Amino acid sequence: MTQVFKFGGASIQDAAAIRRVGELLARFRARPLIVVVSAMGKTTNALETLLAAARAGETEEYRDRLETLRQEHLTTVEALFGDRAGPVTERVEALITELDQLHRRHASRERPFHYDQTVCYGELLSTTIISAWLDEAGMATEWLDARDLVVTDDCHQAANVDWQATVERVRGLATDDDKIRVTQGFIGGTTEGVSTTLGREGSDFSAAILAHCLDAEEVTIWKDVPGLFNADPRRFDNAVQLERISYDEAIELAWHGAKVIHPKTLGPLQQKSIPLTVRSFEDLEAPPSTIGRDTRFDTQTPSLVLLEEQTLLEIRSRDFAFMDEPRQHDILGRLVEAGLHASLIDAGAMRLSLCLDDGHPDRLEPLVSSLCADYAVVRHEDLTLLTVRHADDALLAALSAGRDSLAERRNADTAQRLFPSTQCQGTWHIPL
């Protein structure tokens, strides 16, 4: 049965990292194997900046940025292939030329469309280099264009998968030959062949889409951490690894912002009972985490998520009316229309509070203006949202000590508190 491996940006950030991926594949390769790859390092961020420069018509800045992107990829090719770099260099140069030309064609189109046509080049470039490197290292590969495999609608930057059409396109990939099939994460295409993207950090989801459509045996995502922890090990000095966790629990953590897995990843796997393994590409001996049907271990350890760069909107009616269902309906309708997600909704008799991500000012500011026109709105910025699963009162009290909570929400298994970010800096310790 097919295995799907996914490699993120950090695991392929330069020539040395790509070599390590080659070694890893030589050791762990399964048959049939599909390898889903993100853009190298921070290339997607670089492409977003390139797009902004292209749309602002800042030609010199645009040229510099394109040249930097080109040089970074060519340097990797040079370091990997040395004297034999010629054919791969040509393919990279051809992709950069295509990228440059498309800006002229699409500069007057809406930004989400132009975005998708631009940023997909990060993954097209990385997979071109990696596929060639695996061939060089003696593993036969087939490079596949994910825009022909993952069929989506044209909701640019957050495209929705057409599952039936995708199943038909990927069915043939489960061939038990000796080839490693290498394709891009994050990107898809419409039935008309227009490039789309699935949302930032969407490569995990791509791996799950392919696995679901192929009834794969397992998905492995190779990370710079040994597995899924009960809190981000880079923020919490005593985070512990969760070696086994259920789909439902992992979905909750991802939904509340645990950056390690894209939240859409788990649903398609759960539906087919395909286990997801999270393991380290740095320490190949480290025991991984497995996400599957088993729920036995879910409540043993409280899990924590910190979500930064949050803004709180406290919304009241101007005429002292209750914040009843019609008003909630109106406010949440505007939120949906703005394309925003509230990470916390806290309703009282006279007030509705929404906690929103600061990261989309183009959507947030029009929403705030629209609400201010009809309601009394108080805005608090620079906040951090703490979500704790399976917490008791003592743990919550200890985590909140010395911090002022601006909004809260709690149900049977999840508690959330919103604090000023100035009170949340540095490394955290989970009080036990």
Cα separation, 353 vs 416, whole angstroms: 13
Give the strands of the sheet with 352-357, arranged side by side. Answer: 342-347, 352-357, 303-317, 375-389, 414-420, 407-410
Residue 100 is a binding residue for ligand ADP (CB under 6 A): no
Q: Decide: 177 and 32 in contact? Cβ < 8 Å.
A: yes
**Partner in contact with 234, chosen from Mg ion, ligand ASP, ligand ADP, none, beta carbon below 5 to 8 Å by kind:** ligand ADP
List the structure tokens of 297: 């271990």
116 contacts Mg ion (rule: CB under 5 A): no
Rounded CA-CA distance 8/130 in Å is 12
Q: Which stretch binds Mg ion (CB under 5 A): 104-112, 146-154, 198-206, 233-241?
A: 198-206
- Rounded to the nearest whole angstrom, what is the least distance from the CB of residue 23 to ligand ASP in the complex? 22
Residues forming contacts to ligand ASP in the complex (CB under 6 A) are 8-9, 38-39, 44, 122, 185-186, 200-203
The verdict on 201 binding Mg ion (CB under 5 A) reads yes
Provide the 3-class DSSP secondary structure of residue 214.
Answer: helix
Q: Which is nearer to ligand ADP, 96 or 231 (CB)?
A: 231
What would the two tokens of residue 254 be?
């991802």
**Looking at beta carbons only, is 103 or 264 nearer to ligand ADP?**
264
Taking CB under 6 A as the criterion, the residue among 224, 309, 408, 413 binding ligand ADP is 224
Q: Which of 234, 272, 293, 341 binds ligand ADP (CB under 6 A)?
A: 234
Contacts with 253 (C-beta within 8 Å, 6 or more apart), sequence order: 228, 261, 303, 305, 389
Measured from the CB of residue 232, what is the shortest distance to ligand ASP in angstroms? 17
Rounded CA-CA distance 260/210 in Å is: 19
Q: Choose between 224 and 374: whose C-beta lies nearer to ligand ASP.
A: 224
Spatial contact of 205 and 198, defined as CB atoms under 8 Å apart: yes
Residue closest to ligand ASP, measured at CB:
203
CB of 392 to ligand ADP, least distance (A): 20
DSSP annotation of 259 reads: T
84/259 with CB nearer Mg ion: 259
φ and ψ at 65, to 5 degrees? -65, -40
Neighbours of 45 (CB within 10 A): 14
Q: Is 10 in the site for ligand ADP (CB under 6 A)?
A: yes
Q: Which of 70, 223, 327, 389 binds ligand ADP (CB under 6 A)?
A: 223
Q: Is 8 in the site for ligand ADP (CB under 6 A)?
A: yes
User: Is residue 225 within the footprint of ligand ADP (CB under 6 A)?
Assistant: yes
Tokens describing residue 15: 């020539």
Query: By CB under 5 A, which span of 3-11, 73-81, 124-132, 279-287 interacts with Mg ion?
Result: 3-11
DSSP β-bridge partners for residue 414: 389
The verdict on 78 binding ligand ADP (CB under 6 A) reads: no
- Quick check: 282 binds ligand ADP (CB under 6 A)? no
Q: Nearest to residue 368, comparing CAs of 314, 329, 322?
A: 314
Please name every residue paired with 246 in a beta bridge, in sequence order, or none if there are none: 292
Residues that bind ligand ADP (CB under 6 A): 8-11, 38, 201, 223-225, 228-229, 231-234, 258-260
Residues that bind Mg ion (CB under 5 A): 8, 201
